[in-house]
Amino acid sequence: MKLFYAPGACSLSPHIVACEAGIELELCKVDLGEHKTESGADYCEINPKGHVPALQLEGGEILTEGPAIVQFIAEQKPDANLAPEYGSLAHYRLLEWLNYIAAEVHKAFVPLFWNGSDEEKAQAKKIIARRFDFIEQRLEHDYLMGDDFTIADAYLFTIAGWLDQQKIDTSGWPRLRAFQQRVAARPAVQKAMRAEGLLKG
């Protein structure tokens, strides 16, 4: 399988999940500004949405949208225990987190990355703060779902990593900061970050 990614973008989440599952992916870096792959191909011909991630499957089909991709990868290696059993309440709690992160947290960053006005950026930061206030309250264990790392943690880790990048003060979220450190220490996470040039050594 081939993962189309941009370093540090939301595509880091499925990259982490694949490393956690022990699945080797072919990586293809995308310039999101130019919509070109590193080979010079028009990325919009691969994924007409123009965003990362996109996962090219063995048969050539293209799967898009991070929450769908991480679920697909997790289901290829169920023994890795990256997602609860399908049909269980825990499974739907996982979907609940993935949807919250995608719809309420991830999208709140858009004005900060894509040239929002000063007013839009200020409003976005207020929304982001409220979303992470909520997450801080719910991080009562090592991970979102309890004591076990899941695909939702890979997604949260990726999005929360943008807080420092955008110079948003995280001192009011000690649980989140501890979570970030905990996830960053995982060997699979370090492998993915190193492959994307986000971690030296």
Nearest in space to 82 (alpha carbons), one of 142, 7, 22: 22
Q: Is residue 146 located within the same domain as residue 76?
A: no
CB 180 within 8 A of CB 171: no
Residue 165 lies in a domain: yes
The whole-number pLDDT of residue 145 equals 97
Domain check: are 103 and 20 in the same one?
no
> Confidence band (pLDDT; 50, 70, 90) for 172?
very high
- Rounded mean pLDDT of 2-17? 97
Pairing of β 2-5 and β 36-37 = unpaired
Residue 200, in any domain of the structure: no
User: Same structural domain for residues 73 and 134?
Assistant: no
Examine the pLDDT at 174 and tell me if it is beyond 90. yes
Q: How many domains does the chain have?
A: 2
Asked whether residue 128 falls in the same domain as residue 111, the answer is yes
Of residues 201 and 98, which shows the higher confidence score?
98
The answer to the question of residue 33 being in a domain is: yes
Return the residue matching tokens 């949208």.
65
Query: Do 95 and 123 sit in the same domain of this protein?
Result: yes
Query: Structure tokens of 173?
Result: 């979220």
